[in-house]
Amino acid sequence: MLLERGLIKNASEIPADAIPIDPELTMPTHLRCPAVCYLDIEFICTECGRPDFWSAGSQQHYFEISKASPYKEPKRCYDCRQKELARKIQARLDSGHTPS
């Protein structure tokens, strides 16, 4: 499919387990080299410094189903994201807003 569109020159440029990106989408900026597929990305959590990875499948869901900003990059590991979420919800409650 990607070959037919001329996005890549040969299929060997893309690992077998990579997920092709919807070409209608703005290319997520964190993706490197031929930015035509999602790959599992390893990153270091900015919060606790632990290594974590962002799976290709969850990136696809994030950008194509949740329609997240293509400028989003992985920063926090799963645990720290949960803590940050809880902190934000608590902060909203503390400031007198009702949860939506």
Contacts with Zn ion by CB under 5 A lie at 45, 47-48, 77, 80
Residue among 6 and 49 whose Cβ is closer to Zn ion = 49
Question: In the complex, what is the shortest distance from the CB of residue 42 to Zn ion, in angstroms, rounded to a whole number?
Answer: 13
Task: Compute the distance between CA of residue 4 and CA of residue 32 in angstroms, rounded to an integer.
Answer: 21
Q: Which is nearer to Zn ion, 25 or 85 (CB)?
A: 85
In the complex, the smallest distance separating the C-beta of residue 92 from Zn ion, rounded to whole angstroms, is 22
CB-based contacts of 89, cutoff 8 Å, min separation 6: 99
Cβ-in-10-Å burial (0-12, 13-18, 19+) of 21 comes to buried
Within the chain, what is the greatest distance between any pair of CA atoms?
57
Nearer to Zn ion, 34 or 83 (CB): 83
Q: Tell the smallest beta-carbon distance from residue 83 to Zn ion (Å).
A: 8
